[in-house]
Chain A
Amino acid sequence: MAPAVFLLLVWMLVPLCMTLWFSLRDYRPLRGGDLGFVGLENFVRFVSSSSFWPAVFTTMLIVGGVLLVSIIFGVLLAMLLDQPMWGQGVVRILVIAPFFVMPTVSALVWKNMFMDPTNGVFAHIWRAFGADPVVWLTDVPILSLIMIVSWQWLPFATLILLTAFQSLDSEQLEAAEMDGAGPLARFFFIALPHLSRAITIVILIQTIFLLAVFAEIFVTTGGAFGTRTLTYLIYQRVLESQNVGLGSAGGVYAIILANIVALFLMRIVGKNLDR
C-alpha cells in the first residue's frame, strides 16, 4: 500500500498545511498578499458570520436530499436494468449519460431550458395541464437544486448498484422464491442486504462530491434564496472577497465538518465494509 498512501499523504499534507498556514494569516491577494500573522481571527470571523450556520444547514439538506433520491431511485433503476430486456445496452447508456455532462452545462440547461417559468419545458407541461407554472428557483430553490444534482448523480449510484446486483446469486433468489417468499420479502431479505456494501460506497463517495457541489448553485441561484452551501460560502470568501485567509479558515471548518459527517456515516454504514 505504500506508494498510494504515501502519495496521498503528501498530497493531503501539502494543501492541508498550506490551508492551515494561510488560515492563520491575513492573506489578501488584492491588498498585496500576505499581510502577517493574525492568530485565530479568521476562524472567529468565519464562524461568527451570520451566513455560517445557515450554510452548514443548507449543505446538509442538499447532500442528504440528493443521497436519498439517488439511492432510492438508484436501487429501483438498478433492479429494472438488471432484468432481461431488449436493447439493454442502449438503455443503460441512456441512464448513465447524465453523468457525462459537465456540471456547468447541466446547470445551464436545467435553468434555462427546463425550469424557466416562461420558456422552460416544465412550464409548458404545467400549462398544458392548465396549471400555473412553478417558479422553480425562487419558490422551491433547494428542491430544484436537489433535482439538478440528483439527475447528475443518479447514474453513478445506478451503475455501482447495478454492478452489485449482477453479482447477486440468482440461485439464492430462486430458492427463496420456491420457499414462497414474495417479491417484497425477497427484496428486503436477500437483495438489500447484498447491496449494503454498494450502498455504503455510494453514500461515502457521493457525500464527498456533493459536499463540493458548486457550479450548479453558481449558475442557477448564485447562492441566494437559501442555497448558499459551505463550499459556496468559501468560494465567495476566497474568490469574490479575495480573502484567502478567511476562506482558508472556512476550508478548515469544511474539513472538520466533512470528517464529522464521515465518522457519522462510518458508524451507521461502516460496519458493512467488514463483512
Chain B
Amino acid sequence: MSPKTVLRASTALALCISTSAAMAQDTTITIATVNNGDMIRMQGYTDRFTEETGINVEWVTLEENVLRQRVTTDITTNGGQFDIMTIGMYEAPIWGANGWLVPLDNLSEDYNVDDILPAMRGGLSHDGTLYAAPFYGESSMVMYRTDLMEAAGLEMPAAPTWDFIREAAAAMTDRENDINGICLRGKPGWGEGGAFINAMANSFGARVVDENWQAQLDSEAWANTLNFFNGMMQESGPAAFATNGFNENLSLFNQGLCGMWIDATVAASFVTNPNDSEVADSVGFALAPDNGLGPRSNWLWAWALAIPAGTQQSDAALQFIEWATSADYIELVAENEGWANVPPGARQSLYDNPNYAAVPFAQMTLDSILSANPSEPTVDPVPYTGIQFMAIPEFAGFWTEVSQEFSNAYAGQQTVEEALARAQDIVNEALEAAGYQ
C-alpha cells in the first residue's frame, strides 16, 4: 500500500463526498474569521443573511495567530479554502499589491463606499483600489479611572502629554493595594508590545527607518522612547508588564488594578460593561498622549473582510461583505444589542447618528481615529505607510524579534541600550536581505 494510492483513493472518496454535498444544497461560502466579539456576534446574525439571499455560510473561527498563519498559507499557495478572509490593515495592501485579492471596486450604490472613514479606506487600499471592507476599526486611547484620578488630585486633559501621564501614573500607584498607576503592553510580538512601542516612538520623534531604509533604532529618539516607557513601567506598572498584552491588561483594568490603560479603542466597550468590569461606572477617556512634536502615540487598525482571488464564489462573497459591513448591519446590531455593541470605527454615518453619540466612548474613538495618519506617521519622513507597523511583508518577522529584545530589557535581562543595538542589527539585516538597502 503506497501512500500515493492511499491519497488517490482518499481524493476520489473526498470528491464523491463533496459533489454529493454540493448537489444537496445551493451556494455555500466559507469565511475565515478571528474570534473577537464583534465577529462572533456577526455569526449569530448569519441566518438573516441566508434568509435574505439564499446563500449558506460556513464559519471557520480561529484565534488571531492561528487565523493569520492559516489564511497566509492559503492565499500565498492559492489553496482556495476560503471565499472570504478576515484580514487586517497590515495584510490588505500587501496582498492587494500581489493581486491575491479581488478588488472591491464594483460595490453597489446602496453600500455607499464613501461613508467608510477615509483613514480606514486608505489603510485597506493599494494604489487607490479598495481590497478589503472594514468590519470594525480602531485606534488607541487613554482609558483611566476617574475616581483614582480625582483621589490623586489631578485632572485628565482631553489630550494629555507623556509627562502628565507619567506623573499621574506615579500619583495613582498604590503598591500596598496592588494598584498600578498605568498598565501598558510589554508582551513580545509585533501586534502586542511591538505595536504599542512603535506607535509611542512616533510621538517621541523616532522612526524605524529613514528614507533610505536604514534602521534608526540607534537614534536618541528611540533611546528616549524606550527609557521613558521602561522607567515609567518600573515605577508605576504591574510586576509582569513584560508579559502583559491586551488581554492581561484588560483583566487587570477590569479588576480595578490599573489607574490608566492606553490601548485599543474597542476595549472601551469591555471596560464600561458592568457584567465584566468592576469599574464600569468610573472610566474616563482621553486621546493617546503626545510630546508636542506633532504625532500622537495612537495607532490605526481595522479588521476587514476580503475576497481571495482564487475563489469560485466571488459574487456570493461580495454579497456577504456588502451585508456585513453595511450601515444596515450596524442598525441591526443596535436594534438587538444596543448601540454600545455595534462594530465601531468603520463608517462616518455611525458617528453622525445621534443615538450613537450618547455612547460614552463614541466621540473619543472617532477623534482618536481621525488623529491617526498612516501616510505620515512620524516626525521625520519615512518611506513606508502604517503607524504601528510598516506595510511591507518582512515587518511582522523582524518587528517580532525586535519586540522580543525590548521585552528582555523590560525584564531586566539586558539594558535598553543593548536591546536597541540588537534591534538595530535585526532590522538592518532583515531589510538588507529583502533588498531594500
Contact = CB atoms under 8 A, between A and B. Distances in A.
A116 B241 CA distance: 11
A220 B243 contact: yes
Contacts of A7: 1, 3
A29 B75 CA distance: 9
Contacts of A139: 411
Contacts, number: 109
B379 interface: no
A241 B408 contact: no
B257 interface: yes
Interface stretch (A62-70, A156-164, A184-192, A222-230): A222-230
A180 interface: no
Interface string A1-25: 0010011001100000000000000
A239 B76 contact: no
A10 B397 contact: no
Nearest to B401: A236
Interface stretch (B125-133, B186-194, B294-302): B186-194
A45 B411 contact: no
Nearest to A246: B433
Nearest to B180: A118
A138 B240 contact: yes
B102 to A, nearest CB: 18
A117 B72 CA distance: 35
Nearest to A51: B401
Interface size class on chain A is 35 or more
Contacts of A218: 65
B243 A243 contact: no
B382 interface: no
A222 B239 contact: no
A221 interface: yes
B407 interface: yes
B50 interface: no
A50 interface: yes
Interface stretch (A30-38, A87-95, A165-173, A267-275): A30-38
A261 interface: no
Nearest to B410: A138
A176 B407 CA distance: 57
Interface string A93-128: 000000000000000000110001111000000000
A224 B242 contact: yes
Given A29-B77, A118-B238, A226-B413, A240 B400 contact: yes
A222 B192 contact: yes
Contacts of B240: 116-118, 135, 137-138
A58 interface: no
Nearest to A6: B2
Contacts of A11: 3
B249 to A, nearest CB: 11
Nearest to A235: B69
A222 B243 CA distance: 8
B219 to A, nearest CB: 21
Contact of A30 (B76, B189, B407, B412): B76
Contacts of A242: 72, 76, 393-394, 396-397
Interface string A225-262: 11010000000110111110000000000000000000
B425 to A, nearest CB: 7
B400 A225 contact: no
A223 B430 contact: no
A10 B3 contact: yes
Contacts of B239: 117-118, 133, 135
Nearest to A132: B239
Contacts of B422: 50
A29 B394 contact: no
Contacts of B106: none
Nearest to A228: B404
Contact of B430 (A112, A116, A226, A241): A241
A194 interface: no
Interface in B167-207: 178, 187-190, 192
Contacts of A240: 190, 396-397, 400
B408 A225 contact: yes
B2 A29 contact: no
B94 interface: yes
Contacts of A223: 188, 400, 404
Contact of B251 (A117, A119, A220): A119
A137 B407 CA distance: 11
B252 interface: yes
A3 B238 CA distance: 58
B72 A29 contact: yes
Nearest to A32: B98
Contacts of B403: 224
Contact of A236 (B3, B243, B397, B413): B397
Nearest to A9: B3
B188 A221 contact: yes
A109 to B, nearest CB: 14
A50 B189 CA distance: 19
B38 interface: no
B77 A137 contact: no
Nearest to A7: B3
Instruction: Give the top 8 A-B pairs by smallest Cβ distance, nearest first.
Output: A241-B397, A29-B76, A30-B393, A222-B188, A138-B411, A224-B407, A224-B188, A224-B404
Interface of A: 3, 6-7, 10-11, 28-33, 45, 49-51, 111-112, 116-119, 133, 135, 137-139, 141, 218, 220-226, 228, 236-237, 239-243
17 contacts: A6-B2, A30-B76, A50-B422, A111-B243, A118-B257, A135-B239, A137-B243, A138-B410, A139-B411, A221-B243, A222-B189, A222-B407, A225-B413, A226-B408, A237-B397, A239-B72, A242-B394
Given A119-B251, A119-B255, 13 more contacts: A49-B429, A117-B239, A118-B239, A118-B240, A135-B240, A138-B240, A222-B189, A223-B404, A224-B188, A228-B404, A236-B401, A239-B72, A240-B400
